Structure formats: C-alpha cells, structure tokens
A = this chain, B = another copy of it.
Amino acid sequence: MREITLSKAVNEAIAEEMRRDETVFLLGEDVAEAGTPFKILSGLVEEFGTERIIDTPIAEPGFMGIAVGAAMTGTRPIVDLMFGDFLFLVMDQLCNQAAKTHYMSGGKLNVPLVLRTNLGATRRSAAQHSQSLHALVAHIPGLKVALPSSAYEAKGLLKSAIRDNNPVVIFEDKLMYQDKAEVPEEEYLIPFGVANIKRPGTDITLVATSSMVQVAEKAAGILNSDGISAEIIDPRTIVPLDEETILNSVRKTSRAMVIDEGHQSYGVTAEIASRINERAFYHLDAPVIRMGAMDVPVPFSPALEDLTVPTPEGVAHNARKLVRGELVHAA
C-alpha cells in the first residue's frame, strides 16, 4: 500500500470532505496561501478558494466563536488552531458554548464543528508551544476527543470528525507530521469509540495514546527481547472511550500501564487507569501504572525537555518490574 505523511493524510481528509460536502469550510491563521506554518494545508486554497479556506486575524477566541455560530446555522467549520497551547484562549467558546449548546437547547441546536490542533513536546518550543492539553477538553461533557497515532488514524478519524454532528477536538502530534504510514487510496472512515489493538500480546497491556503509541511500540520491542509479550491498545478516541477493548485485554494480561503525553496528574492516564481498576480489579495481578508527562511546564533546554516525556526505555523498565511482580511505586 502507498505510504503518506500524517500531514498529507490530514490534507487529503479535508480535501475529500470539502469535495463531498459544500458546507464544510476551514478557518484559522495563515491557512490559505501559507497552508499553515506546518504546511499541512498546502494546495487547499487553490482548490477551494478563500471563501472556504479562510485566513483569520490572530484572534483565537473570536474565530472559535464564529465557528460555533457558523456550525449552529448549517455549516461545518473546521477550526485550525495552530498550537494546542492556544486552547486556553478558546476554552470559553469551546466549553461554555459549543459543548453545551445541544444539551442546553434540549437537543434543538447542533454544533457540528471540528477543532484541529496539536500536542507534543521535544520540539524545543518551550512551555507555551509544547503542551498536550487533551485531558482538559476530555473533562467537558459534550466534546468528543480524538487522538490519531499515525497518518492512517489521522485521516480516518478526521473524516469521521468532520461528519460528526457534535463538536470534536482532534489533536495531531506535531512531531509526527512528517512520519509516513500506509494509507489506502480508497476512502475509509475510522469510527469513534473503537480502540485499535496495535500489537497483540499476552503478558501486559500497554494502553497508549497519540505520540505514545510509537513509544509503546518501541518499548514492546525491547520487552520482546526480554521474553515479555506486550499488547498495545490505542484508544484512538478518549471521548468516547472504548472501555471494552481495553478491559478485555487487561482481563487477559492481568497487568496494565497507561501512557499519555499530557501531564500525569489529573490527566488522561488517571481516567483510563481508574476505569481499568474499577472494572477489572479482580483480574489485576498488580496496580495499573501510569506514565504521563512530568508535572512541570515544558522546559526549553534540550537537556531538560527530553526528561519530561515517557521514553521507550522508561516504559520498558516499568513494564518489566510489573511483570516481575516488583513494585513500581514505593508502597
């Protein structure tokens, strides 16, 4: 099968959906001629024109609000938020307005919009351009949250997001834009709420999201040479969350780790670990171990930044302990 970059996968998803549905349009900063600073959207304005690929001023709350109103009145906006860190600027329009409108109107108004943004550290971009903030939006009822882990997922999930009748936040890993994966020429969608068993295994379950799927895969390789068979589950969407696939795996392996690039405390790992504990407690041979990013603002210095995110070695280290029945945290 052909291989394309995640960046190209995103571009294709948008182009296909815009061809399919006249009401889809995109807005954000430098999305038209410039095709975004990451050059993800190159070519779209040439095909769809500036009426549908709209350059905005640097006014994130404003264009987020405009997207909400546009979505409520019969169009399907895709909001391009250049960095995930700028989520903090759009939280009111996203969480007080978009997320709640359908419910508050008793089901009468819909807000079918997609907020495309990114996550991921280690790009030497410092504390305001490196955050992975998906836990925040996952906490707000009314928002769906997708975390593609490769070009394949990026395309399939984004197309589903654009067709969804609800606000969806989709986080691309900005370190992965140039990574290639097999992506079919034919159209496909990836449904929300269906996890992917990225690698089957028997000894331990590694639930990994987004950027951490690759880390888990590398860790599984290391573990494999130690004779430990790790199963990797990629939830693909954390709202809705496919609990069954995760639980089935844990019931089989009896051990689980959850790995995510958001800050560990009060983050995504806690929710997934809690659900495993609640529903598979009697199957567990050991506590579920979480690995998130350190609870520190992301430092600029390369000497520090790389310490803040889970690594394959770190994951393998903890997995090994778990499988051997050693404590990971002092008890």
A residues neighboring B (CB under 8 Å): 85-89, 91-92, 94-96, 99-100, 103-104, 126-128, 135-136, 138-142, 238-239, 262-263, 265-271, 273-274, 277-282, 284, 286-290, 294-297, 299-300, 328-331
Contacts and interface: CB of A to CB of B under 8 A. Distances in A.
Given A267-B139, A270-B273, A96 B85 contact: yes
A274 B263 contact: no
Contacts of A296: 103, 141
B265 A138 contact: yes
B127 A297 contact: no
Given A278-B288, A297-B103, A263 B88 contact: no
Contact of A297 (B99, B139, B273, B284): B99
Contacts of A126: 104
A256 to B, nearest CB: 11
Contact of A127 (B104, B286, B299): B104
Contacts of A282: 331
A253 to B, nearest CB: 16
Nearest to A134: B266
Contact of A88 (B96, B274, B284): B96
Contact of A287 (B104, B278, B286): B278
B88 A265 contact: no
7 closest A-B pairs by beta carbon, nearest first, are: A281-B287, A270-B270, A88-B91, A88-B92, A139-B266, A100-B297, A138-B266
Contact of A128 (B88, B94, B96, B279): B96
22 contacts: A85-B96, A86-B92, A87-B91, A88-B91, A89-B91, A89-B92, A96-B127, A96-B128, A103-B299, A104-B300, A138-B266, A139-B267, A140-B263, A265-B271, A270-B270, A270-B271, A270-B273, A273-B274, A279-B329, A280-B331, A281-B287, A281-B331
Given A88-B94, A274-B274, 11 more contacts: A88-B92, A135-B139, A141-B265, A142-B297, A238-B266, A270-B271, A274-B288, A277-B287, A277-B288, A278-B290, A279-B330
B263 A266 contact: no
A295 B330 CA distance: 33
B271 A104 contact: no
Nearest to A128: B96
A317 B187 CA distance: 50
Contacts of A290: 274, 278
Contact of A279 (B265, B271, B331): B331
Contact of A270 (B86, B87, B263, B274): B274
A91 B297 CA distance: 15
Contacts of A104: 126-127, 297, 300
A103 B305 CA distance: 13
A82 to B, nearest CB: 14
A50 to B, nearest CB: 28
Given A88-B91, A104-B126, A263-B139, A289 B278 contact: yes
